[in-house]
Amino acid sequence: MLGSSYFSLVQSLHESSSFEEVADLLSNHLPRQFTNDHATIALVGDGPVLLEILGNSPSSEVARGDFECVASLLPKHPLLGNIDLRSPGNLGFAASDYLKEGEYRNSEFNRGLPQPMQADDSVAGRLSTCWGRSTLLFVCREEGIFTKEDRQVFDAVLFTARAVLERISSQSLEAQFRKFLLGSGAAAPTSLFSLGLSKELLPMNFLALRLSEKWWGLDEPFRKLDDEVYAMIAAEMDKAWIDPVVSSFRSLEVDLGGGPLPLYAVPKADGEVLLAAPLAGSTPVNSDDAVNAVLTKRQKEIMDWIAEGKTSAEAAIILDISPRTVEKHLEAVFQRLGVENRIAAVRRFLDLKQGQRV
């Protein structure tokens, strides 16, 4: 039966705003739902190849400390004949689903692990798959196997964590575009293209459509990039990932059909790449023009004082307006900057004033 600790964990997951928070909650608090088990989160690529150990649980620290050993053992995992670790399905899977009692404990994989990580059974599931890499959650039981009730709890938490990570990924992508478009300023019209796994480039807005008509053939609705150009973009996008679900813009120069063009690109989790190019002969604005393109004169005055550490009441006195008027302006500022609080608003405001590039 689900207890208060389960609901506390789920509530904390729902309130998480970063991958790191989710990873730490899962690696430290999920094992408490069972017995004295331990959890590890692993980023896995093709092969399978172990790319990184995530989370800050004791077992994660052990795995990081003996990373080469753990990485060399992953291809020997006894379930590889039954499970594709990069795409293991929607539900969690356990060693005891496929192996007889004692087989997992005596497998070359398990016996080679550092002593604190060896176990009788393990249950695992996919947290996310981004850009061809999967993040897997492993919970290991030192003695005995996972029960049906244990598995139900694991799957419920797994589904919750996936939904939270999808929300974090979407919000991050939206924030990246908001930051890019606001930073580009009104004087820099931006074309937007989408590049899929099929290597086909597709115009996504009016300006991109007009450029494609100019650059491409009359009956060419999309442009197929050659392998060399696509590989160059893909290599740059590999560097764009801040963590397994959050990416950032990278600058590059690509010929989309009209000659080499400086642009900015950001990868999505599903492998799609969004390419944006300000076409007014400029990159994102490096002056107060960026602020003026986003905020009114009064909003800029208010943010100047808030950035100095003034309260709404103090800013109201200085500007000879009511505190309520200051608060209403701040609500509009939060919406325009895509933030939720004063600290984030000040940080974004100062970024714009300093002309910080995305």
**Residue 337 sits in a domain of what CATH number?**
1.10.10.10
68 and 118 both lie in a single domain? yes
Please indicate, yes or no, whether residues 164 and 94 belong to a single structural domain of this protein.
yes
Cα–Cα distance list, 128 to 70, 132, 137, 167 (Å): 21, 10, 10, 12
Same domain for 274 and 293, yes or no, is no
The answer to whether residue 255 sits within a structural domain is yes
Indicate whether 13 and 152 sit together in one domain.
yes
Domain identity same for 51 and 150: yes
Domain with 9, as residue range(s), is: 4-170
Structure tokens belonging to residue 8: 């506390």
175: in domain: no
Q: How many structural domains does the chain have?
A: 3
- Residue 209 domain-assigned (yes or no): yes
Torsion over CA: 203, 273, 247, 227 (sign): negative
- Same domain membership, residue 137 and residue 33: yes
Neighbours of 328 (CB within 10 A): 12
| Final residue of a structural domain among 127, 146, 170 | 170
Residue 177 belongs to a domain: no
Is the CB of residue 146 less than 8 Å from the CB of residue 94? Answer: yes
Q: Are residues 241 and 295 both part of a single domain?
A: no
Residues 68 and 42 reside in one and the same domain: yes
Residue 36 lies in a domain: yes
- Is residue 200, in this structure, part of any structural domain at all? yes
Which CATH number fits the domain that encloses residue 134?
3.30.450.80
CATH at 219 = 3.30.450
Residue 229: inside a domain: yes
Confidence (pLDDT) at 207: 86
Q: Are residues 32 and 161 in the same domain?
A: yes
pLDDT for position 283 = 46
The answer to whether residues 348 and 247 belong to one domain is no
Last residue of a domain, one of 278, 305, 331: 278
Same domain, 46 and 162: yes
pTM summary value: 0.76
Task: Please check whether residue 345 lies inside any domain of the structure.
Answer: yes
User: What residues contact residue 162 under an 8 Å CB cut-off, 6+ apart?
Assistant: 126, 127, 128
Phi, psi of 53 (to 5 degrees): -105, 130
C-alpha distances (whole Å) from 154 to each of 75, 128, 134, 308 are: 24, 15, 18, 47
Side-chain-side CA neighbours of 313 within 13 Å: the count stands at 0
Residue 147 DSSP class:
-
Domain boundary among 170, 200, 230: 170
* 10-residue averages of pLDDT along the chain (358 residues): 82 94 93 84 91 91 94 93 83 92 94 90 93 90 91 94 94 83 64 91 88 84 90 93 93 90 90 84 50 79 91 92 91 85 87 60
114 lies in the same domain as 243: no
